[in-house]
Chain A
């Protein structure tokens, strides 16, 4: 996991996406204790307010929940929710661009499917 942030997106959004990533790929399981704000500050070397902003959004959306005096935990059903949300984003972030570029290059649907299968096998087109 990188501790560098990109310039094109607010950092609190990137912080929150890093935590989401960890939940989606099972590095953080439901019921697990999530890293504290302070741990995140020290790990990413980003100030408290920015980290809190990202974490608060996850709490508001029910991905994380707070246990008073203990810390933050991954909520039941968090992974499902995130996967659902990301599937919707998958369309906008990947599929739309793929189709547009394919049209420009006159690649047919069959060819796209063929390319996807090749990519899955790991060889280059």
Chain B
């Protein structure tokens, strides 16, 4: 089971600061959506409204056709994994017992899978939660998020504190379990380079507004690099949307946002310019760059 999401004219304010500003988008069910945004872009605010942790100030949210706020059906079927390390400090329950209790509260929770994951993440079942290291606390939360198999699963920078091999296990498990038990996953991150391959769709937000949304493939296809002699590169890119440029001696390399026509590609080849692809990471870094940086 997986839930689709419709967000319309959403606004969330903290006193006089507008965190999310009249934002409209839709998320397709059964996909892994990458939510990309810089620190303070509004990722966590947006996700906490989707997870019904707080109320929107204006606009509407429909999850599987219903407003999630104080909606028992939707809330039961939504899991929101965020940084709960401070709360976990005060949990003296043992891990195996906590997993059991979670299983009782979550309709789709697969306890056997949770135990299997605990082994993979090398989580000591007889330890108490407050005794775990930062990385292991995150692993514990990731296990809950995966094993809950909730139709709407939200991971908000859930990898914080995990070391690289642990993150790798986490990403693998997301892909494996998603293949067997498809659901709607929202995965927020600013570690774009190592997670980009996970995403079916990408939603990029900046200063509380949607910057772009498309399939991962479409987003990447809209960026490319042009390298060659400075003059020719400048000439070729004078009417294009240049994101960034670097010069080394007489050679210039620029990143361009937009699509190239066949003729443009041909012209670039004729001029001896090299056309390369951009990664989601490159696009993210340069599309969200502020003027003064």
- Main DSSP-derived SS at the A contact region: helix
Residues in chain B near residue A44, CB distance under 8 A:
197
Given that A47-B196, A47-B200 are contacting pairs, would A42 and B216 also be in contact in the complex, using a CB cutoff of 8 Å? Answer: no
Most buried by A among B176, B196, B215, B217: B217
A41 with B217: CB separation less than 8 A: no
B215 with A38: CB separation less than 8 A: no
B197 with A46: CB separation less than 8 A: yes
Residues in chain B near residue A47, CB distance under 8 A:
196-200, 216-217
Given that A38-B176, A47-B217, A49-B217 are contacting pairs, would A7 and B276 also be in contact in the complex, using a CB cutoff of 8 Å? Answer: yes
Nearest A residue (CB) for B193: A45
Report the separation of the CA atoms of residues A46 and B276 in the bound assembly, to the nearest whole angstrom: 17
Nearest B residue (CB) for A12: B217
- Cβ contacts A84-99/B at 8 Å (1 or 0 each): 0000000000000000
Which of the four size classes fits the interface of chain B?
A: 10 to 19
B217 with A42: CB separation less than 8 A: no
Is A50's CB within 8 Å of the partner chain B?
A: yes
- Cβ contacts B145-188/A at 8 Å (1 or 0 each): 00000000000000000000000000010011001000000000
Report the separation of the CA atoms of residues A47 and B199 in the bound assembly, to the nearest whole angstrom: 6
Is A48's CB within 8 Å of the partner chain B?
A: yes
Q: Shortest CB–CB separation between residue A10 and chain B, in angstroms?
A: 9
Q: Shortest CB–CB separation between residue A110 and chain B, in angstroms?
A: 35
A41 with B277: CB separation less than 8 A: no
> Which residues 23-73 of A sit at the B interface, judged by CB distance below 8 A?
38, 41-42, 44-50, 53
Residue from B172, B200, B215, B275 in contact with A42 in the complex, judged by beta carbons closer than 8 Å: B172
A38 with B200: CB separation less than 8 A: no
Q: Shortest CB–CB separation between residue B265 and chain A, in angstroms?
A: 11
A41 with B276: CB separation less than 8 A: no
Report the separation of the CA atoms of residues A46 and B277 in the bound assembly, to the nearest whole angstrom: 14
Q: Shortest CB–CB separation between residue A120 and chain B, in angstroms?
A: 34
Residues in chain A near residue B198, CB distance under 8 A:
47
Report the separation of the CA atoms of residues A49 and B176 in the bound assembly, to the nearest whole angstrom: 16
Report the separation of the CA atoms of residues A8 and B277 in the bound assembly, to the nearest whole angstrom: 8
Report the separation of the CA atoms of residues A47 and B215 in the bound assembly, to the nearest whole angstrom: 10
Residue from B179, B216, B277 in contact with A38 in the complex, judged by beta carbons closer than 8 Å: B179
B200 with A48: CB separation less than 8 A: yes
A49 with B197: CB separation less than 8 A: no
Report the separation of the CA atoms of residues A45 and B198 in the bound assembly, to the nearest whole angstrom: 8
Given that A7-B277, A47-B217 are contacting pairs, would A38 and B197 also be in contact in the complex, using a CB cutoff of 8 Å? Answer: no
Nearest B residue (CB) for A51: B197
B175 with A41: CB separation less than 8 A: yes
Residue from A8, A42, A53 in contact with B175 in the complex, judged by beta carbons closer than 8 Å: A42
Q: Shortest CB–CB separation between residue B260 and chain A, in angstroms?
A: 13
Residues in chain A near residue B199, CB distance under 8 A:
47
Nearest A residue (CB) for B227: A7
Residues in chain A near residue B172, CB distance under 8 A:
42
A49 with B179: CB separation less than 8 A: no
Q: What are the nearest 4 A-B pairs in CB distance? A: A7-B276, A45-B197, A47-B216, A49-B217
A-side residues, CB < 8 A to B, are 7-8, 11, 38, 41-42, 44-50, 53
B-side residues, CB < 8 A to A, are 172, 175-176, 179, 196-200, 215-217, 275-277
Could you write out 11 A-B pairs with CB less than 8 Å apart?
A: A11-B277, A38-B175, A38-B179, A42-B175, A47-B196, A47-B197, A47-B217, A49-B215, A49-B216, A49-B217, A50-B217
Given A47-B196, A47-B200; 17 other pairs, CB 8 A cutoff:
A7-B275, A7-B276, A8-B276, A11-B277, A38-B176, A41-B175, A41-B197, A42-B172, A42-B175, A47-B198, A47-B199, A47-B216, A48-B200, A49-B216, A49-B217, A50-B216, A53-B217
